[in-house]
Structure 1
Amino acid sequence: MALHHTINYLELPARELEATKAFFQAVFGWGFVDYGPDYSCFTQAGIDGGFFRSSVNFDTLNGCPLLVLYSNDLNASLEAVKGHGGEISKDIFSFPGGRRFHFRCPSQNEYAVWSE
């Protein structure tokens, strides 16, 4: 049962839908359920959502929200992102409460990964 007035689902654009799915599966272990050629629901991501084929991308330079993932091992996550074709846009840095890095997926969307 969904909780009233909570964030329940997240839909993200993906220029390179197949490459984006392969990247998130390989790096973060997400699963996918396809609904036609232009939409794929992601699973095991901490929130329900999906990627839709789109010619746009999102990043904080354009005022878009930043999706931040959590990692138990920030260095291993950084290496996995790089090893599977992600582009590091901000290397690991400290902030109040932890450390994080920013990256771009194959669709050029910006994400971050943090750890205590």
Structure 2
Amino acid sequence: MKRTGKLDYLEMPASGGALDSVKAFYSAAFSWSFTDYGPSYSAFSEGLDGGFHTDSGEASSKPLPVLYSENLEETLEAVVSAGGRIVRPIFSFPGGRRFHFTDPAGNELAVWSE
């Protein structure tokens, strides 16, 4: 199975301090469960893993598709060679490392690795 480039995670904003209400909505409507990682991030695992965030200083205001890579540096080079624009160079986060880029249409995506 192909691993590099696989859509692996989806981060979505819960702006305005709405994390608790967003969690309550998805719990009531779809029986989702959550794992909190501090006061501003809560993850879900419901088919496609993902999470909601309230940290507007660090996170996108739109949904952020996150792709997986077996070799982050090689994938970054491939993204640049294909015409992508790096908007956040490789950085560490709880769980691994990642970078963000925009595609030719202006969509922002992230790529992560362990």
TM-score, normalised relative to structure 2: 0.49
More strand by share: 2
TM-score, normalised relative to structure 1: 0.48
